[in-house]
Structure 1
Amino acid sequence: MKFVQTMCIALLIVQTAAQFACAQESTATSPQTSSAPAANEKQRSARETRERLEQLACGPKGVHLAHHTEKNPQPLPEHPPDKGLIYVIRNGSLFGAAIQAKFAMDGKWVGVNRVSNYFYFEASPGPHYFCADANGRGLLSLVIEKGTTYYLQQRLTMGGTDLDLINAEKGQAYVAKYHRSIFEEKHKN
């Protein structure tokens, strides 16, 4: 029995040494030849993925939305049991305060916000794609579940527009202190 254990240990040592030598040999090859094309492919793939997500999420160009803020307290909607309820919140940052942030779901513009505003809408259960568009585009994909409330935050930054899912506690606090955004599509005459 001791002989078998000794042989197994010896075999393991030899096997490990061979694997180590192979690993050393593979890392000794020029990393530029193998990683440069991979890095370029990764960048191209990320760009193509973003472009495809924009196609799925963002509304058509040339659509303009008129906006005003409802200053009086507004009753909040009852939650529909067979759909998801989505609040879209624009934070109170003064950065980009004069810019409207449009919002689309699945290729259709569904709202617009200014600073310290929110709006809400219902969505059918299933996968959906979202786009916030102001000085750049923030993108997000979510699977909406019936009976669930979601809070999405639009933020304008130096680098563009961010769109994030935030927790219910933070979302409810924003909705309690911000004003509801009312909007409609502008039709040019």
Structure 2
Amino acid sequence: MTTRVVLVSPATSPELREARFGGGGSVDERGAARARAAAGSLPGAVRTLISPSARCRETAAELGLHGLDAPELAPLDVGRWRGRTLDEVGAAEPEAVARWLADPSGAPHGGESVEDVCARVGGWLESAAQVPGRTVAVVEPEIVRAAVVHALGIPAAAFWRLDVPPLTATELSGRAARWNVRLGSPL
């Protein structure tokens, strides 16, 4: 049985451009227009899942996707840094930011570590492998990174080296606990 999982990254938002941690804000008009233009471009799926962030819900709606909320695919929990920009946190806590970016087991913000999110998403991906057919999920970029880290069995230290542009699809296909990855196809 082959399983296919298509992970769609959401449209742009002001928070994305500001490098704001877990801002949870809405997509901007340009991102919404790009998503509407891409509606119908995704393959059919046996199930559609949507991360609980506003950006993912709005992107899914603009793409014409109706799906189930997927709390297991929630964005990385950045604890007390939530809502702040990388520049703000970097100025206030430079050592903590450096440690967080260098150490996948670190969570100086009090939320999840990169290893934690990779384990959470890896567990979800293995359960998704039991569902035949195609799953489409609209998720934040860090969830795409975590899935790729798990699927390829690469170290969590590679997490920050994976770029996930807005409105791209990353497809994972697998059978018998072996995954292949097709990265970042534009919608």
TM-score by length of 1: 0.23
Which of the pair is proportionally richer in strand?
1
| Structure with the greater alpha carbon radius of gyration | 1
- Please report the TM-score for the alignment, with normalisation by the length of structure 2: 0.23
Question: Counting helix residues as a fraction of each chain, which structure ranks higher?
Answer: 2
